[in-house]
Chains A and B, each alone.
Chain A
Amino acid sequence: MPASASLFIKTFRSISYNSIQFYLGIDSLTNVSGALGGELDPTHGMYWTWQSGYINFKMEGQVSRRKEPLKEFQIHLGGYQQPFYSLQEVQLNVHDENINLELNLDPFLQSLDFSNVHHIMSPSKKAVELSEILAKNFKVKKND
């Protein structure tokens, strides 16, 4: 896993647009469609193994609170079935052609309770809440 990731998306010059829309995660039909290839190949590590389903978002690392020793944490968000369906739709208005899309992780990290929970690794209510927070924190910035 890279420490920071940038994804470039090219668009056609001749097409003008004023909004973009995408999904954060994998929809439920794709989740029940068996083995898939390319970016969806489970060798990429974005698939749960003990329970079927794609991992929509992964963040792993170490935290230290108030000079306590470093502790590993693993946050894997996913879930394709109600009541823990965690796929999020993101829709943003854009005013420029050359833009950066930024995900502000601060509200997400603030909502994690690192004093008690270091692992979220299966579909749950908390995983849905965290996915919603992520989806709300994308921002369109002008690229200069």
Chain B
Amino acid sequence: MIKYISILLFLLITAFTTRESNFSYPSSWPKPTYDFSKNPIEKNKVNLGRVLFYDPILSENNSISCESCHSPYSAFTHIDHALSHGIYDSIGTRNSPALMNLAWKKTFMWDGAINNLDMQALAPISHPLEMGSSIKKVVIKLQASKKYRQLYFQAYGDSIPTGEKTLKALSQFLLTLVSSNSKYDKVMSGDLQFTTQEKNGYALFQKNCSSCHREPLFTNDEFANNGLPDNPTLKDKGRMHITLDSTDTYKFKIPTLRNIEYTFPYMHDGRFKKLSEVMNHYTSGIIQSKTLAPELKEKIKLTENEKVDLISFLLTLSDKEFVFNSNHTYPKEIISSTAKD
């Protein structure tokens, strides 16, 4: 009996430490929402997901990869594009969001259309303006590839790609995109200090912004109408398209503000290029409507100096270690050591 207990304990301890060592995050953060028990992080699965993320094989004519719209050097958003740019030079209808701290999200996309990170990749793979293919076609291509048969074998002990394995491997890579090393984080842990200007900005942020852009993730993962005027060419009603509930009209997912310095242009349609334009929106651009968030009904007052202070605080959310993390970039080292097709 004792023996069994000790074996069990040993298993429990190893399970715990693997999870902790392979998916680490600051101890002051909330628990992730992603169910790691269904898809425990393992190095070879993360590697497979990373290779898939950078491979245009996921698109119909092998021209577009996930990275085409989510570049590591801009915290995984689309460099310089307001609306995403997909297959056959198509222009999509929304701005590609930055990808980070995805393990803490309950829903994905600007309207919350996707209910689990695993299912996210199906959307761009199948979208005629994005990658124009289907998971079935992709899996058939992967099954025919020596390189992928080897990578699936290393990850799953079975060389045959399936939809499930492909989606879970992509999730594994996406889950590792944790950004938690900004100046803000170092100030919170006591290793650095804010300048006076940043400190003023932080106070203004806590007063006016943090109910929605909640610390430490800088989003509460809810939907809100932050008073943007309707874009007449896109006519995007946001969350309402999913719930068909008119009280959700113009509500969009509250985005994180981490790495905001790198993720311009801003908002679901990329309408603002600069943070100063965002400040002017919150102080003087808010459109009153039935679904406008209650905390924005009353005008936010900021002097020009206060706007500058608030922006200087937002810039403390930049995480260079994240943006230049070589574990996140094109997986040259993995590809060069796998079979060639």
The chain A residues found within 8 Å of chain B, CB to CB, are: 31-37, 41-45, 47, 49-53, 84, 124
Q: How many residues of B contact A (CB 8 A)?
A: 28
- Judged by a CB distance under 8 angstroms, whether B127 is at the interface is yes
| CB<8 Å pairs between A and B, sample of 11 | A31-B115, A33-B116, A34-B38, A35-B163, A35-B164, A36-B164, A42-B167, A43-B135, A45-B134, A49-B123, A50-B126
Main secondary structure of the interface of B (DSSP, over half): helix
| A49 and B127 contact, CB distance less than 8 A | yes
Q: Cα distance A84–B113 when bound, in Å? A: 15
Which B residue's beta carbon lies closest to that of A123? B244
Residues of B within 8 Å of A43, CB to CB, are 135-136, 139, 162-163
| B38 and A49 contact, CB distance less than 8 A | no
| A45 and B136 contact, CB distance less than 8 A | yes
Interface string of B37-81 (1 = CB under 8 A from A): 011000000000000000000000000000000000000000000
Which B residue's beta carbon lies closest to that of A124? B244
Q: Nearest chain B CB to A114's CB is how many angstroms away?
A: 23
Known contacts A41-B162, A53-B115, A124-B244; A33 and B123 CB within 8 A of each other: no
Kindly name the residue among A33, A35, A41, A52 whose own CB sees the greatest number of chain B CB atoms within 10 A.
A35
- Judged by a CB distance under 8 angstroms, whether B122 is at the interface is yes
| B242 and A51 contact, CB distance less than 8 A | yes
- Judged by a CB distance under 8 angstroms, whether B118 is at the interface is yes
Q: Nearest chain A CB to B69's CB is how many angstroms away?
A: 16
- Judged by a CB distance under 8 angstroms, whether B125 is at the interface is yes
Known contacts A43-B135, A45-B136; A34 and B122 CB within 8 A of each other: no
- Judged by a CB distance under 8 angstroms, whether B204 is at the interface is no
Which A residue's beta carbon lies closest to that of B242? A51
Which residue of B113, B118, B167, B168 is within 8 Å of A51 (Cβ)? B113
Known contacts A43-B163, A50-B113; A34 and B123 CB within 8 A of each other: no
